[in-house]
Structure 1
Amino acid sequence: MRAQIIFRIAAVLLITWSANNLFGQTMKTDTMPTLVISSKSAISPKVTEAFDAKFKNDVNTTWYNANKNYMVKFMTQDQKNAALYNKNGYLVYHIKYGNASSLPNDLSNMIYKKYKDCKITTVIHIEQESRSIWAVDLEYGQYLILARIENDQVQEIQRLRNGATK
């Protein structure tokens, strides 16, 4: 009898401890801290030369040190940009943020052909090596759609019901 009571208490404690560990786990993500570089002289000359050669009319540049690479955020012609360079001045990628007028006519025609009467709200252009990818947010009837254009192909990435429409 006494052994059964001790066994039950031990079993309850074990179950409680297991449940606590099972449901009490939290996901931990280790990220490298991003450091804002306040002086352009702290950036590799190869990087600044490559940036100045590619983006001549940049405004409001802010440089960041991100995991041995250099990220720069800047404005050109009222358009937000971000570019990532490695320490040797190689452009890893360039991102331009815009709106419907930022999308070239041939690409917007592709969108309007697939989604008649849609409204293009946001456009993001990603250039990486020889790739040119366009991410397009649009409103289409009662849906919000994220579409991707690459190699003259329109691909629907995500479709959500728009809570603002009835």
Structure 2
Amino acid sequence: MKKLIAILTLAAVITSSAAFALDGSTIDNKKVMESFNKEFVGAADVSWYHTADKYVAKFTMKASKVTAHFDREGNLLATSRYITDAELPLNVITRMMKKYPDQKIHSVVEYDAEGNTTYVITLESDTHWTVLKAESNGNLTKLKKLQKA
């Protein structure tokens, strides 16, 4: 779990100003490119970013926006993608509907790292936003509750 949090933190850092955009849909690291091409056949609109020791590819695949994180050796570390509420596990949806019946789903991001899948779900009501972390087994954790202006 600590590693997953570290990877999610890395994702935030990489998308911040510390990341450097690379031109084109390829990079100069052969191992990373081979791994990317093997894992994500059919990826379109690929953009690459990097830090000193990580590479990040942002792309679309079957109409989904996907982000993939690689180390310099070409190992896939984590992925994230926007999904619809229909793609959430049934136990997540049912628990969420029981616990937050007055809120509608605004967005869902699926994170996959080290074989663990988690979801960050943003719910919306008339007065506030609620951000949840959901595990595949249906466990829900409230991350934030924000009042609307």
Same fold? TM cut 0.5:
yes
Please provide the CA RMSD for this pair: 2.0
Aligned equivalent of 1:128: 113
Aligned equivalent of 2:24: 38
Aligned residues between the structures: 132
Contact 1:35 1:66 in 2 (8 A): no
Segments of 4+ moved more than 4 angstroms: none
Deviation at 1:85, TM superposition (A): 0.4
Identity %: 23
Deviation at 1:51, TM superposition (A): 1.4
Structure exhibiting the larger radius of gyration computed from Cα positions: 1
User: What is the SS of the residue equivalent to 1:160?
Assistant: strand
Aligned equivalent of 1:156: 142
Give distance in 2, aligned partners of 1:43 and 1:95: 23
Of Structure 1 and Structure 2, the greater helix share is in 1
Structure of higher RCO (CA pairs closer than 8 Å, 6+ residues apart): 2
Contact 1:136 1:148 in 2 (8 A): yes
Letter in 1 for 2:120: A
Aligned equivalent of 2:91: 106
Contact 2:92 2:139 in 1 (8 A): no
Contact 2:91 2:138 in 1 (8 A): no
Aligned equivalent of 2:9: none
Deviation at 1:32, TM superposition (A): 4.1
User: What is the SS of the residue equivalent to 2:86?
Assistant: helix
Structure 1 gap segments, 5+ residues each: 1-30
Aligned equivalent of 1:10: none
Aligned equivalent of 1:146: 131
TM-score (norm: length of structure 2): 0.77
Contact 1:126 1:134 in 2 (8 A): yes
Letter in 2 for 1:142: T
Structure 2 vs 1, CA of residues 142 and 55 (structure 1 numbering), >3 Å: closer, same or farther? same
Q: Which moved more, 1:56-65 or 1:104-113?
A: 104-113
Contact 2:128 2:145 in 1 (8 A): yes
User: What is the SS of the residue equivalent to 1:152?
Assistant: coil
Q: Which moved more, 1:56-65 or 1:120-129?
A: 56-65
1:4-43 aligned within 5 A: 32=18, 34-38=20-24, 40=26, 42-43=27-28
Structure 2 gap segments, 5+ residues each: 1-16
Question: Is 1:79 aligned with 2:58?
Answer: no
Deviation at 1:46, TM superposition (A): 1.7
